[in-house]
Amino acid sequence: MRFLFKTDYNQDIRIAKHSGYYWSYGVLLLLVLAAPLLLDSYYIGQMTQLYIVAIAGLGLMLLAGYTGLVSLGHAAFFGIGAYTEAVLTGAGLQLPFMEEPLVFSFVVAMPLAAIFAGIAGVVIGIPVLRLTGIYLAIATFAFAIVIEEVMSRWESVTNGYTGLLVDSIYIGDIDFSSGEPFYFLCLGLLILVILFSINLLRSPTGRAMMAIRDSEISAQSMGVNLARVKTTAFGISAGITGLAGALFAHKLGFLSPESFTVLQSLEFLVLVVVGGIGSIHGAIFGAMFVLALPQALAIAKDYVPPEIGEMPGIEPFIFGLILVLVIIFEPYGIYGRWLKVKHYFQMFPIYKKATFKRQKAYMKSERLK
Amino acid sequence: MQLVIGGVSIGCIYALVALGFVLIYKATEVVNFAQGELMMLGAFLAYTFIFILGWNYWIGAAAAIVCMFFAGNLVDRVFLRPVLGQPQFSIIMVTIGFGYMARSGATMVPGWGAETYAISTPFSSEGIQLVPESMGSLVISETDISVIVATIILCIVLYAFFTHTRLGVAMQASSQNQLAAYYMGIPVKSVFSMIWGISAAVAAAAGILLAPTTLIDANMGFIGLKAFPAAVLGGFGSIPGAVVGGLIIGIIETLAGFYLPPGFKNVAAYVVLLIVLVVRPQGLFGQKTGKRV
């Protein structure tokens, strides 16, 4: 057990709490950097997918886990990012005063996709964020359905259900849209997004976000501008998810509105909840869970009797079951369990179960009187 | 006019599902994202009783409604009670998780499966002429009439229940102030379970009424999502509002499907929802409220 004696404020807000952080995260970084040498291309593809989903999860985590706003429509921002990227790098932007459409390099297009999704987030956010709790969830849900319909009907841009091919991206001669270069691109962006999130969360804006999550009224009393902080959080969250969408476009190479349905939004939410709400680790763990579950089930199928294994709906059923069980028994998800295990070994042999005991909860009314 | 009748008929279904939402929300402050799935389960139960077991339509429908009442009770006890007092977010996620389970669970039950089924009803789908031939044609099918009449009856029964029975009054009390109701000796937790039961029963009725129009399959629960606009339009937490909201959404949707380009029919309800939230978040019948610290 390590005891930290904090002697000044800078120490309190440092990213690495103590030297152990450099070791553990350094080793992790080395491992993911060396992964292309160690694993074959299938697993590299899977890990790339993991990074993309983790970026999207981080986007939603900032909103749901740190600002306490539930969005049921993040697939819409994911989709906006993906389509923006595909259009900007592919057909290009046709402006009225130009002869040739303007085609962007992905280095420019990706930030543009993120910014565009972020703007969409702010535009939908400004009217909607005056609402609280459940209304917000319903409004984002409605927004996602409208966007999904737009994606399938605006055929001159998105090609509807026929689908839109995404061009490969190059710097010089290196193809950045597949294999190892793409792996490092996603990894780099994930690390950037993680660092951005950590820094955001220790800034005044991030603290205001957490204050809003814990109690809107006390945040307001402390001088937090609710509407502005909420809109900022919404915009940032949508932007990060849009960035993930842009990467996703290149990962798939082919876009159709079916990839951005309400079910995808729900999957992001499940990711956040199962991974561990209110923690950046949680987004990564959640992404692992969402990607690993179908594979684990496919493997498990060989070991159970075929009558059970071959049932058509077994996969979403287990998905739902795990979601419910996690919320009832481990509200802080995989990361919460990890903390408990870590604590157990740190405190060995005097671990007390009561350390993490939840307080007795009463029904708190959110109703306005 | 013909379109409006079709809209009213589908609107009644939305109204019934929205009614289920509102009942649960008003009493327990839980938003049930699995309301559509409850409707789906109700419809499948009715199908089982009427077709697989070969019962009379009325008995089968009644049995399905009663079964769903107990199922709703059970859902509250198993899934909702452990998370009582957790943040709204967790509770919503539990209902979403339950929705997943119900949807895929229904495809796993032997005899139900992933196909679509039809229930034959005593109502024919043939039209009845409403106005004299000279005033133009205005046709309403018996199925539509059955939906409208059943909705009216259900509303009256619910109204009577809430104002004239001990349990109904207890439910009103606990929806106004849970703590005070608890101090007055109302068993709030079991009242919540009863509310879930009633709401599931209403959903089952909606499912059975909807069955002739859209057929039964495991994904019919998605229609339940259309009930959100209805509930919000009427002011979340207002029971007459839910009914009126459902009717308006149904009519708007049918009209949009006829007059606007394809694609608008699916989103019309949600566009209305967004507009309502921006312009008048408290809905048509909601009360303007302020928050007490």
Chain B: residue whose CA lies nearest to A361 = B85
The reply to whether residue B290 touches residue A134, judged by beta carbons under 8 angstroms, is no
Establish if A161 belongs to a structural domain: yes
Establish if A287 belongs to a structural domain: no
Taking only residues 27 to 66 of chain B, the set having a beta carbon closer than 8 angstroms to any beta carbon of chain A reads 29, 31
Question: Counting one residue from A and one from B, how many pairs have CB atoms under 8 Å apart?
Answer: 152
With CA atoms as reference, report the closest residue to A212 among A197, A200, A223: A223
pLDDT tens readout for residues B225-264: 778 888 888 777 777 888 888 888 888 888 887 787 776 7
**Which among B98, B114, B229 has the least Cβ separation from residue A324?**
B98
Contact A332, A278 (CB under 8 A): yes
Shortest Cα distance, chain A CAs vs residue B166, angstroms:
24
CATH class as words, domain B2-279: mainly alpha
**Which among B229, B266, B281 has the least Cβ separation from residue A149?**
B266
CA separation for the pair B194, B16 (Å, rounded): 17
pLDDT tens readout for residues B236-245: 777 788 888 8
**Domain layout of chain B by residue ranges:** 2-279
pTM of the model: 0.84
Residue A102's SS3 state is: strand
Shortest Cα distance, chain A CAs vs residue B227, angstroms:
11
Name residue, tokens 């929802």.
B273
What local confidence, expressed as pLDDT, does residue A194 receive?
Answer: 93
Chain A: residue whose CA lies nearest to B222 = A262
| Chain A residues in contact with B267 (beta carbon < 8 A) | 145-146, 149
The reply to whether residue A311 touches residue B108, judged by beta carbons under 8 angstroms, is yes
In this prediction, the residues of chain B whose per-residue pLDDT falls under 70 are 1, 111, 113-116, 118-139, 263, 281, 283, 285-293
Which residues, at least 6 apart from B113, have a Cβ–Cβ distance to it below 8 Å?
A312, B107
What local confidence, expressed as pLDDT, does residue B289 receive?
Answer: 53
Which residues constitute the domain of residue A220?
39-260
| Chain B residues in contact with A361 (beta carbon < 8 A) | 84-86
The reply to whether residue A366 touches residue B88, judged by beta carbons under 8 angstroms, is yes
Shortest Cα distance, chain A CAs vs residue B101, angstroms:
5
- Could you count the other beta carbons within 10 Å of the beta carbon of residue A346? 10
The reply to whether residue A316 touches residue B88, judged by beta carbons under 8 angstroms, is no
Chain A: residue whose CA lies nearest to B283 = A135
State residue B129 phi and psi, 5-degree precision: -75, 125
Q: Write out B88-154 in H/E/C secondary structure.
A: HHHHHHHHHHHHHHHHHHHHHCCCCCCCCECCCCCCCCCEEECCCHHHCCCEEEHHHHHHHHHHHHH
Six-digit token pair at B95?
A: 């209902």
**Which among B87, B100, B229 has the least Cβ separation from residue A316?**
B100
What local confidence, expressed as pLDDT, does residue A60 receive?
Answer: 92
CA separation for the pair A213, A207 (Å, rounded): 10
What local confidence, expressed as pLDDT, does residue A107 receive?
Answer: 78
Establish if A247 belongs to a structural domain: yes
Establish if A75 belongs to a structural domain: yes
Report the complex ipTM.
0.79
pLDDT tens per residue across all 369 residues of chain A: 677 788 888 877 777 777 778 888 889 999 888 888 888 888 888 889 999 999 999 999 999 889 888 888 899 999 999 888 888 887 666 666 666 667 777 778 888 888 889 998 888 878 776 676 677 888 888 888 888 888 887 777 777 777 777 777 776 667 776 778 888 889 999 999 999 999 999 899 999 999 988 888 888 889 998 888 988 999 999 999 999 998 898 888 888 888 888 888 888 988 988 888 888 899 999 999 988 888 888 788 777 776 666 666 677 788 888 888 888 888 888 888 888 888 888 887 777 777 777 665 555 555 544
> How many independent structural domains does chain A possess?
1
Taking only residues 80 to 99 of chain B, the set having a beta carbon closer than 8 angstroms to any beta carbon of chain A reads 82-90, 92-94, 96-99
What local confidence, expressed as pLDDT, does residue B139 receive?
Answer: 67
| Chain A residues in contact with B236 (beta carbon < 8 A) | 134-135
CA separation for the pair B37, B14 (Å, rounded): 14
**Which among A64, A217, A328 has the least Cβ separation from residue B83?**
A328
